[in-house]
Chain A
Amino acid sequence: MNKEAKKIGVYVCSGCGIGQNLDIDALQSAASENNDISISRVHSFLCQKKYCEIIHNDIIDKELHSIVIAACSPRVKTKEFSFDPSIVVERVNLREQVIWCNPPNDEDTQMLAEDYLRMGVAKALIIEQPEPFISSTLNSDILVVGGGISGITSAIESAKAGYRVVIVEKEAQAGGWSSRLLKQVPYSDPFGTLQDPIIHEKIKELQSFKNITLLTSSEIKEISGQPGEFSVSILNKNTIMEYMVASIILATGWEPYNATNLKEFGYSMHADVVTNVELEEMAKSGKIVRPSNGQDVQSVLFIQCAGSRDKKHLPYCSAFCCATSLKQAKYIRNFSTETKVFVVYKDIRMPGKLEYFYKEIQKDEQIFLTKGTVSEITEENNQLLVTVKDTLIDEVINIKVDLVVLATGMTPRNSEDLNLTYRQGKGLPGLKYNFPDSHFICFPYETRRTGIYAAGAIRAPGTISACIEDATGAALKAIQCIESTKRGESVHPRSGDISSPELYMQRCTDCKRCTEECPFGAYDETEKGTPLPNPYRCRSCGICMGSCPERIISFKDFSINAVSSMIKAVHIPDEFEEKPRILAFVCENDAYPAFDMAGINHLQYSAYIRIIPVRCIGSVNKVWISDALSQGFDGILQIGCKPGDDYQCHYIHGSELTETRGENIQETLQTMMLEPERIRTEFIEINEFNRIPEMIEDYLETIEEIGPNPFKDM
């Protein structure tokens, strides 16, 4: 629908102090300055039920297409201000980001409020309500890759929820690592004694479900498609089987760290230095002896963190080795009452209630534990001499032992076993330490491939109990994905969003930027390089929209045009008024809420700033920057979430992209003969709202130094 035909209603709330701090009449007339407003109302209590009914009636009576609510932050009162789903509702944030952070009845505050309202109206005139895309070929089955404890748990949990599951296992028997254990570290109260591995029960349970198909001796040959309609071909003992599934759980688990790298602990140099995996094999076979001569062991020393939490090897903690070593210490003590067991650790780490197990093990006076660093292992008289420094005993100690056990950590298996036909590769992109998990606090199980969820040791190293918990969580995510896809909604983090990018293909130059930069591999490619969107893989972040030099990618409710018109709606005072204008693109995920928090805390910052919320800082298109500069803005701030492993961008690398795209933008500035300082990128965490006033002041100083934008009034 074109802009002129749109009927729009503007509702200004004068409650919460807005009326006392702003000139509401002037505000109302600003809204209708250049636009034909069908109805404009002011009320001191807009969000009350009675008044929302009036708005609702207006929508029907006046046949409105869009309404603008100028009141509080769009993050609050969402339920009150939700009307007919076909109606565009644009919220203008007069409370948190205008009156709560600026002096009352001030000229600049008033200008800020008027600009925001004009921007809101401009946007409301352009955007439209999206409609969900619902494919006719969607199904509800789940594919589980890997038949270890995690895969089996995921399959059982999904089947319990009523979904059909296909579970693929490479080996001839399901069970994985945990079926090769003699005993398991305690997993239920009172967490004191070793228990039989839970996997055997789980396998039995798995076999009792009719809606689970277990394919052993099988491998994934190829996976193509998108959530709701993945097409999978499985190589099962020389025959190819085809399945259609809606989501995938990747639970291929771990491999032990290659101990031959651990020269410092004498592995492969002394026969009596073994790994925890090798000791487990010995215990399972019924006899723990010295590999060198087959004799019984009188004393054993465990080296914890062998290669773990060590920058030279694995920088992380594998979370299972401490408990496993104590379990194996118990094996050894059970085999022989005479044997002494020493455990040298960096820190003993006992996740959850395993602390009780640790305490129980400590009760044995023939198990000796100390913090320490093993500095040397030598062989003498057919025994191993271990030198340990930095011990709790506060001196360098020497211990003579028959066997040394290296507690080595877990490394994730290669996710390329999935054999995806995605343009961005066969596997899942590795994140921190090459585990394919996206963010371990905020978005567990989410990988960078929508509809594919990682569970168990491939997601993060851990104990069997952790894997079971993990697998259950991943099953839940897989189910969520299936159901969201059926409704045409995107999954985390924009859960429930029905918008998806629309490409105006006639103008596409096949530059491949969108297909390369999409963090989720949503675009496949023709041989020529033309993007082929897969809407169900999309998370609606808009990074492709930011990447497109031809500006052909937009969403119905978030478009190149809409933001450009918001930029153009701002009144830029001329140079002589000495009122600079800063445009801030603010990420909706962390930075925008941080601005709201600053308002809630009544932190005061300059009224020269104009904020435009964006889905991700990576969705900022270069054209908006040139629009803003030619409009006369003196500077542009891009405020995104913190990049990096520990505090991730919600779309994984949107923030980082903003930095790398900076080069292109500098070129734009050069062609416009402008200073590079006119654009600054900042990263902020949600709890860093205290930094906002300082951040803005600092940038304003820089802008004052370099002077006003020469394009003003041109």
Chain B
Amino acid sequence: MSFIEPDIDFIKHLKKDCGSVLTTCMQCGSCTAVCDLSPENNPFPRKEMIWASWGLKDKLLGDPDIWLCHQCGDCSATCPRDIRPGDVIASLRNYCYQYYAKPHFLGIIMQKPAFLPLIIGFPVVIISLILILAGTFKIPDGPVIYSKFFPHGLLNISFLLLVLASFSGFVIGLKQYWKNLKHSTTVVKPNGTLLPGFFSVLSTILTHKNFRFCTTNRYRYWAHFGVFWGFVMLLAVTFYAILATLFFEYPMAFWNPVKILGNLAGLFLLIGCSIMIWQRIFDSEKRTNSNYSDWFFIISLFLLTASGLIIEIARLQNWSYAYHLYFIHLVLVWMVIMYIPYTKFAHFVYRTIAMTYSKYLGRI
């Protein structure tokens, strides 16, 4: 016989993290009723709210439903007790990044503002070291040619190694996550198979179909669409650029189609991020509460994009500060990519897995 053991520290942590007195949930189910993404059977977020109130951590950590939520904020706007179920669910996702993080301490320091200097300092030190080792750590004169200051080859290799290290930790965490998913959902016979499920989920993600359900929050569709596709395109362009440093002309000419695509993607990303930031600050209906991890992710992504566009202008205009700006940009690149498994950025992986799993179970 198993007994209910409420985890009181977990409840306290959640309350603090999302700033909601979530235990005052009276289980009216208004949140579930307004949610357009909730499945018909065992819908969310009502059940997550009582699990959270009772401190049933294990149930929540293996609950795929918290990833089916796209954080439109309809539930929070509707909640008669004003306890913002959407934010509670967001906090639960946050808790997952932390809980499954390998190494664990990285997950913890990512969520604490006090460690911000450390998080920024790490790539600064590594990049500086590489520059010193390569002997290029001196601002060159003449027209701006970034490769004079930045040894692309060395940077690319060390960057890839670090990302590899961080992502292998990610894989270990995700394996545990997968185990928890399977443990907490008891389904006799799955309603689908994994691979077709994955492709169907992929098409949902690429078309941003679920964002369209957030009828009262239209901007989110466009903002996320812009950020998503901007990022994907830039990722492709970056890979091409890495290859270009080795085999082709680099930097690329302004009219190179890949370059045009890169600039366009940058604009997409910039506009998407701007809308998101704007909405988070000026959301009159206060649908979502933004905490440190939200801001950390969105601002670093915004600065990354903005700095990328600025250094391009700096190069063309031969600004004297171009190298400094490039350094900042490089630090941001490392921060965003290397820390993916520990920040909100990891949501795309967790969400894809959870959605695939739910599809496999026939829940969505």
Contacts and interface: CB of A to CB of B under 8 A. Distances in A.
Contacts of A365: 8, 11-12, 15, 23, 53, 55
Contacts of A26: none
Interface stretch (A144-152, A396-404, A602-610): A396-404
Nearest to A338: B8
B187 interface: no
A400 B54 CA distance: 15
B24 A363 contact: yes
A394 B4 contact: no
A348 B23 CA distance: 15
A359 B42 contact: no
A399 B53 CA distance: 16
A532 B148 CA distance: 122
B23 A393 contact: no
B328 interface: no
Contacts of B55: 365
B253 interface: no
Contacts of B53: 362, 365, 368-369
Given A365-B12, A393-B51, A394-B42, A359 B4 contact: no
Interface string B4-18: 101010011001000
B21 interface: yes
B27 A392 contact: yes
A340 B6 contact: yes
A397 B23 CA distance: 19
A362 B4 contact: no
Contacts of A371: 27
Nearest to A342: B4
B56 interface: yes
B23 A400 contact: no
Contact of A363 (B4, B21, B27): B21
Contact of B1 (A369, A370, A398): A398
A400 B3 contact: yes
A368 B3 contact: no
Nearest to B12: A365
Contact of B23 (A362, A385, A394): A362
Nearest to B52: A365
Nearest to A391: B50
A364 interface: yes
Interface in A369-400: 369-371, 385, 392-394, 397-400
Given A362-B24, A362-B26, A398-B1, A393 B6 contact: no
Interface string B50-69: 11011110000000000000
B203 interface: no
A4 B21 CA distance: 84
Nearest to B53: A368
Contact of B50 (A340, A348, A363, A370): A370
Interface string B37-57: 000001000010011011110
Residue among A340, A362, A397 with the most chain B CB within 10 A?
A: A362
A366 interface: yes
B2 A398 contact: yes
Residue among B21, B23, B25 with the most chain A CB within 10 A?
A: B23
A72 B55 CA distance: 69
Contacts of B15: 365
Interface string A343-360: 000001000000000110
Contacts, number: 53
A370 B56 CA distance: 13
B24 A359 contact: yes
Residue among A362, A365, A368 with the most chain B CB within 10 A?
A: A365
A368 B6 contact: yes
A323 B178 CA distance: 43
B218 interface: no
B286 interface: no
A367 B21 CA distance: 13
B56 A366 contact: no
Contacts of B4: 393, 397-399
Nearest to A348: B26
A392 B55 CA distance: 14
Interface in B80-105: 81
Interface string A286-304: 0000000000000000000
Contacts of B3: 398-400
A166 to B, nearest CB: 46
Given A365-B8, A368-B6, A392 B23 contact: no
Contact of A359 (B47, B50, B81): B81
Nearest to A368: B54
B273 to A, nearest CB: 36
Nearest to A350: B26
B30 to A, nearest CB: 15
Given A359-B81, A397-B4, A398-B3, A364 B47 contact: no
Interface in A395-429: 397-400
B262 to A, nearest CB: 50
Interface string A329-341: 0000000000010
A393 B50 contact: yes
B6 A392 contact: no
Contacts of A399: 3-4
A393 B48 CA distance: 9
Contact of B54 (A358, A359, A393): A393
Nearest to A364: B23
Nearest to A397: B4
A393 B11 contact: no
A393 B2 contact: no
A385 B2 CA distance: 11
Contact of A393 (B12, B25, B26, B56): B56
Contacts of A358: 26
Nearest to B6: A368
Interface string A565-585: 000000000000000000000
A355 to B, nearest CB: 9
Contacts of A340: 6, 8
A400 B1 CA distance: 11
Contacts of A393: 4, 47, 50-51, 54, 56
Contacts of A364: 23
Interface in B300-348: none
B363 to A, nearest CB: 15
Nearest to A299: B6
10 contacts: A348-B26, A362-B24, A363-B23, A365-B8, A365-B11, A365-B15, A368-B54, A392-B50, A394-B42, A394-B47
Interface of A: 340, 348, 358-359, 362-371, 385, 392-394, 397-400
The 10 closest A-B pairs by CB, nearest first: A362-B24, A365-B11, A392-B50, A397-B4, A398-B3, A359-B24, A362-B23, A365-B23, A399-B4, A400-B3
Given A365-B15, A370-B54, A392-B47, 7 more contacts: A359-B26, A363-B24, A365-B12, A369-B53, A370-B50, A393-B51, A394-B42
